[in-house]
Amino acid sequence: MRGKALQTSGPDTKLRAVAMAQLPASPDSYKPVPPRAARAGKARRADSPESLAADVESLIAAARQRFPDADLSIILRAYEMAAAAHDGQRRASGEAYITHPIAVSKIVADFGLDPAAIAAALLHDVVEDTELKKGDIEAACGPEVGRLVAGLTKISAIEAREMPNSEAENLRRMFLAAVDDLRVILIKLADRLHNMQTVGALSEERRLRMALETREIYAPLANRLGIWQLKSELEDLALRQLEPDVYEAIRHEIADRRHRHEDFFAEAIRQLDERLRAVGIDAEISSRAKHISSIYDKMERKGVTADKIYDVLAVRVVVNEVAECYLALGIVHSLWSPMEGQFDDYIGKRKGNLYQSLHTSVIGPGNRPVEIQIRTHEMDEVAEYGVAAHWKYKENTASAPEIEEEIAGLRRLLKSQHEDALDAEAFVEGLKTDVFRDQVYVFTPQGEVLELPAGSTPVDFAYHIHTEVGHRCRGAMINDSIAALDTPLQTGQTVRIVTSRGDAGPSRDWLNPALGFVVSNRARAKIKQWFRRQERNQAIADGREVLERQLRRLGLTRLKHEDVSRLFDYAKLDDFLAAVGRHEIPAEAIGTRVLEGEAPEHPDQAGVTLPMPPPLHDPGSISGVTMQGADNLKTRIAGCCHPLPGEAVVGYITRGQGITLHRYDCRNIARLRDSEPDRFITVRWQQTDEHAYPVELQILAYDRPGLVRDISDVIARRGANMASISAATNPAEGSAVVTAIVRISSYSHLTGLLDKIATVENVIDVRRAAG
């Protein structure tokens, strides 16, 4: 197949002649040639020679407009090579495969990227899917195109494409290539956009997987790069696959509302245009509809249907100068009454993804509310193309400093992700938090601005400054006031870190997501690395302490440590304890894995799923129980051990009271296992309702005023109802034992509550009372 790139006869000869005719000596001599079928008035296939010739013509024309002095012949050479390499290949839709790289290159040209990027888009699949190599591309189109294609190529060494982390590894490699050249990401985004536009021919499984990846990775990436239009289109295409009914309902609502409000918007635009022209402002005014995905997001946030979202349609005003933006704003507010609290100035304080505009909502003609957006032509270009506008402005020697700054900042983020990530999955998770997430901008005491993921804390800030500052962080000052280490930072704050002396290290609590000390992947990775470097013996000792504390808290002290290690597939207990001590296995995961394990099954019993019983008025009755060897029996929870949904439980067949569920290690039934084995039945209980169940907690603490109040506050903030609380003090030792009975909905609810109570001042230990 490699030799086909050099062929000089056949259909490509005619195509080359047509395309070469569009490479005149000077830009002024260029005259677009109408496609043959269009001149003849006939329809043609997208993969016909005439269509392909017209596509190449349009690519060259688009590149010439922005890069009149560039070598445009590489676009034609790249097409010839791609057409020959993909000859005979077809997409799932049945079209010739070459239609895909041509479509991707059109999107790249729309971004305003240079001829080298357009050529790389044409060749982006040849190394992966054909016999061509990087050297062949460099020989035909130059080293720059070869380097871009290499960055886009999915590495063939990843042979097991079904492996769950294969896509993560591909993304990792793509982003590493993009550290040196962001055009790699922009071409990849164009590739994903066209694939999502033509996803209909794929199987449902592949469509849903691609849609999920698009929503979680590619759309947030487009947003981070400031390519707002692309971000919205990717989100809409993903929603169309993931929630087709919702998508269609919103689409119909938009179309219906646009039709009903057509006269209203025409009148609003007429009035506004008349007033702006009267003061000498020449503006482009248009109405536009919100993207379907943004309407869906607002529906989800507010819990309403599409017809209850009122800012579906808006008016956009595009002017020439920044001063005219504010003058136009004054005209809008003098023409119509502004709505209270509905104004945002993203020009004076631009968004982290380069977006700039004025947003205001007013009561327009006929007393109808309408949103108005005001921006300059340059802001409109940046809003559409984001960092891709860098190439457009660069060629015209007008590259905006903020775009250069954004590109440099993104490269720093990508590089730090690579250095901090332990594997491909961790890398992608880091992208979701540190790169894709909304950002906050805070100051160091020296006035340096740091960009951090939204929700970051002083601990994240400390690790961003330097790893050792993070390790030795013990306190923080925010705007000269003492602040807790789990305080979320806000844009504009000045943060000072208080460090300890000597060889201090991070706290294990910082890695517990329930406590909220760390948000950024960078900080989390540095903390994990610190624990990984600790001596193995110390790690084993720490791990044993963590394991025993978790089992003690959950009332599972009879469970052997070796049995727990086997649940995590560790043959040796010490290896498991070391992993826990180094926090490779989070403490909260231990209880989850233990309680996911089912009780041992009786060898001759077959599993039977009970049908849902009708609602019972008995408050002790429960649902969602799967049993073995029983059918249609009433179930109740035991009052002695208070099991929770998701725990390993066992059913005890009572006389006339149905089945009582006990925790598998309940001490009250231990003596009956040998004497009455036939009355026990294997049970698995999953949460299927919103009921809460009583759990007794025992809290050991140093006595102090306000102890019970602070514990009660934590319980209330974690959404647990408290049935009772009491305290017994020991004045001689200065200690207290607080007993609280709380109503818990699930095991995860319980573990989060235990972890939070443990952080209350003076609390020594907190555990669930043993059954």
Catalytic annotation, residues: 128-129
The CA distance from 759 to 714, in Å, is 10
Query: Would you say 742 and 720 are in contact if contact means Cβ atoms under 8 Å apart?
Result: yes
The CA distance from 402 to 536, in Å, is 48
- The two beta strands, 607-609 and 625-628, are antiparallel
The CA distance from 357 to 381, in Å, is 12
The CA distance from 729 to 701, in Å, is 9
The CA distance from 111 to 376, in Å, is 19
DSSP code of residue 90: B
Kindly report the backbone phi and psi dihedral angles of residue 224, in degrees, each rounded to the nearest multiple of 5, phi listed first. Answer: -65, -30
The CA distance from 2 to 14, in Å, is 21
Which ranges in 466-520 belong to alpha helices (H)? 467-471
Instruction: Give me the amino acid identity at 71.
Output: D
The CA distance from 679 to 605, in Å, is 13
Nearest to 439 by CA among 400, 399, 409, 482: 409
The CA distance from 760 to 765, in Å, is 10
Query: Would you say 707 and 727 are in contact if contact means Cβ atoms under 8 Å apart?
Result: yes
Element containing residue 443 per DSSP (H, E): strand 439-443
Query: Would you say 347 and 379 are in contact if contact means Cβ atoms under 8 Å apart?
Result: yes
Helices (H) and strands (E) in the chain, counts: 33, 20
The CA distance from 685 to 627, in Å, is 9
Q: DSSP letters of 187-212?
A: HHHHHHHHHHHTGGGS-HHHHHHHHH
The CA distance from 664 to 648, in Å, is 6
Element containing residue 223 per DSSP (H, E): helix 219-224
657 in helix, strand or coil? coil
For 13, 78, 110, the CA distances from 102, given in Å and listed in that order, are 18, 10, 12
For the stretch 291-321, what's the b/e string if a residue is b when 16 or more beta carbons lie within 10 angstroms of its beta carbon?
A: bbbbbbebbeeeeeebeebeebbbbbbbbee
The CA distance from 180 to 414, in Å, is 10
Instruction: Give me the amino acid identity at 6.
Output: L
Instruction: Give me the amino acid identity at 525.
Output: A
Beginning with the edge strand found earlier in the chain, give each strand of the sheet holding 358-363 in spatial order. Answer: 284-289, 313-319, 369-376, 358-363, 337-345
Q: Which tokens in the block code for residue 71?
A: 């070598």
Where would I find the beta strands (DSSP E) of 690-734?
693-702, 721-730
The CA distance from 78 to 138, in Å, is 10
Residue 15's Cβ-count burial label (10 Å; 0-12, 13-18, 19+) is buried
